[in-house]
Structure 1
Amino acid sequence: MLPVKLDSYKPLREVVFDTLREAIINGVLRPGERLMELQLAEELGVSRTPIREAIRKLELEGFVVMVPRKGAYVAGISLKNIADVFEVRAALEALAAGLAAERITDEELEGLERIIVRKKKSIEEGDVAGFVQCDMEFHDAFYKASRNERLVQILGNLQDEIHRFRSVSLAYPGRMQDALEEHRKIVEAVAERDVARAQKLAWEHIENAENSLLEAVRGKAAAAGEEGEGLGK
């Protein structure tokens, strides 16, 4: 990681917290990786105090686990955690899809269709990172079209955890193409103002994403010769 840039609008401890949190979300700090205060302080160009404060806050948010007599580690992606997150996500995404089918504008529909085109191009170029970015933009635009600010806020809060899963899920063989087709069908249902179909397709899309993620996680665990439930401990 690069040294943090001081932000005159934020205390140093918050800048450090945001930096470490983003590193975990984006996979720079991987599940199961030990967080060494001195090493992180040197990398970020700060003292150990804001590092220690950030780690404590990350523990409260579930991104870090403290192991007695061993220290702090990036929280693993457990099967239980996956099930909990996707159970909530499926219900909320179905709700968002139904509301979007009722409230979306023609301009927003065109925006979703443009993202679909970009996703197809990412697949053709083998650009996983580009596909992941498009995937995030698609869901953000989709949430906004629901016209429910509280729903957008709740789904936004889930996005950080979802993003930890997204790259693993989409790396599963064939998942990017399947996700593209699923998104295409959802957009068609929304464009036709078919609320029930949009909800059903959105729910199925999240279930398929969860199943791909679970297969990917189990595959990584098997490859590592682990019997544990998930990535990292």
Structure 2
Amino acid sequence: MVLHNQGAISRSSISEQVEESIRQMVLDGTLKAGERLNEVALAEAMGISRGPLREAIRKLSGEGLLSTGTHRGAFVKRYEPQEIIDFYELRAALELYSIKLTIRRASDEHLQELAEHLAQDQARNTNEASSIVAMTSGPYVAELDFHQQLASLSGNKAIQEHLADINHKLYLALRSTTQTSSRKETTVNSHYIILDAVRARDVETSMALLTDHLNDSMRNSLQVMGLLDKYELAERVNEIG
């Protein structure tokens, strides 16, 4: 991305372009988790001054993509194992309460729309699985989307906002991983089963299914990231304690 000859382009517009460029480099892995941003090299490569670059860095730090420290500069955010576990536990608490509200408040029509959306995901997954090239996809985007939509039917905006924040952080933590087509199929099938229980207005079954699904999702993610052994060891220690 080169921003020479800006002319009448405002400083804020330049900062937004730089912000989007760095965001893309983080999400596509050009900038790795834990990597320090070389401000001088980035500014030179983009043909800009360091002012708009620092402004972009400040905004991306607010989004959780970058972390900064006094006299340390900016780094691509690396989420620690305990942070990821904490995110999953908070996500479970929010979703398990919101699903009770969804069962109580969501209309049959809205639940039908969510079922149709799931059917589209399953069809997309089937098409991808039939392709040798498309055996993996990005970090669990469809899965997070389903959970966000289910929570949106609860009618509780505070839960939706907090869940969106947690899902965003999980997306960032999992951005370097991929989900196999077989895993996607298992996930979509699990979503169908949960939604069937919700549509039947069965609170107990819905919560039990969602609990198992969230635990499975967390353990699978930790395994993909090489953190499952550490998590299981900590759990055994807690049980002994």
Same fold by TM-score greater than 0.5: yes
1:51 maps to a residue whose letter is L
1:176 maps to a residue whose letter is K
Residue 100 of structure 1 is aligned with which of 95, 99, 102? Answer: 102
Listed one character per residue, the Cα deviations across residues 52-75 of structure 1 (whole Å, up to 9, x for unaligned) are 233245446543244787643212
Q: After alignment, is 131-140 or 188-197 more displaced? A: 131-140
1:91 positional shift:
0.6
Residue of structure 2 in register with 1:142 after alignment: 150
Residue 90 of structure 2 is aligned with which of 82, 88, 91? Answer: 88
Q: Distance in 1 between matches of 2:112 and 2:47?
A: 45
Q: Calculate the aligned-residue CA RMSD, in Å.
A: 3.5
Residue of structure 1 in register with 2:193 after alignment: 185
Residue of structure 1 in register with 2:238 after alignment: none
Task: Assess, with a 3 A threshold, how the Cα gap between structure 1 residues 178 and 170 changes in structure 2: closer, same or farther.
Answer: farther
Task: Assess, with a 3 A threshold, how the Cα gap between structure 1 residues 109 and 60 changes in structure 2: closer, same or farther.
Answer: closer
Task: Assess, with a 3 A threshold, how the Cα gap between structure 1 residues 155 and 116 changes in structure 2: closer, same or farther.
Answer: same
Task: Tell me, yes or no, if the aligned pair for 2:105 and 2:155 is still in contact at 8 Å.
Answer: yes
2:52 matched to 1:50? Answer: yes
Task: Tell me, yes or no, if the aligned pair for 1:98 and 1:196 is still in contact at 8 Å.
Answer: no
Higher relative contact order, chain-length normalized (CA < 8 Å, sep 6+): 1
1:82 maps to a residue whose letter is I
Q: Distance in 2 between matches of 1:49 and 1:94?
A: 45
Q: Of the two, which has the highest radius of gyration?
A: 2
Q: Distance in 2 between matches of 1:163 and 1:131?
A: 6
What is the aligned-residue identity percentage? 29
2:163 matched to 1:155? Answer: yes
* TM-score normalized by the length of structure 2: 0.72
Name structure 1 gaps, 5 residues minimum. 220-233
Task: Tell me, yes or no, if the aligned pair for 2:36 and 2:75 is still in contact at 8 Å.
Answer: yes
Task: Tell me, yes or no, if the aligned pair for 1:169 and 1:209 is still in contact at 8 Å.
Answer: no
Listed one character per residue, the Cα deviations across residues 17-43 of structure 1 (whole Å, up to 9, x for unaligned) are 465446535655431233222443356
1:134 maps to a residue whose letter is A
Task: Tell me, yes or no, if the aligned pair for 2:78 and 2:173 is still in contact at 8 Å.
Answer: no
Residue 76 of structure 2 is aligned with which of 51, 74, 77? Answer: 74
Task: Assess, with a 3 A threshold, how the Cα gap between structure 1 residues 59 and 200 changes in structure 2: closer, same or farther.
Answer: same
Name structure 2 gaps, 5 residues minimum. 228-241
The 3-state SS of whatever aligns with 1:31 is: coil
Listed one character per residue, the Cα deviations across residues 171-190 of structure 1 (whole Å, up to 9, x for unaligned) are 26843232112211110111
Task: Assess, with a 3 A threshold, how the Cα gap between structure 1 residues 2 and 211 changes in structure 2: closer, same or farther.
Answer: farther
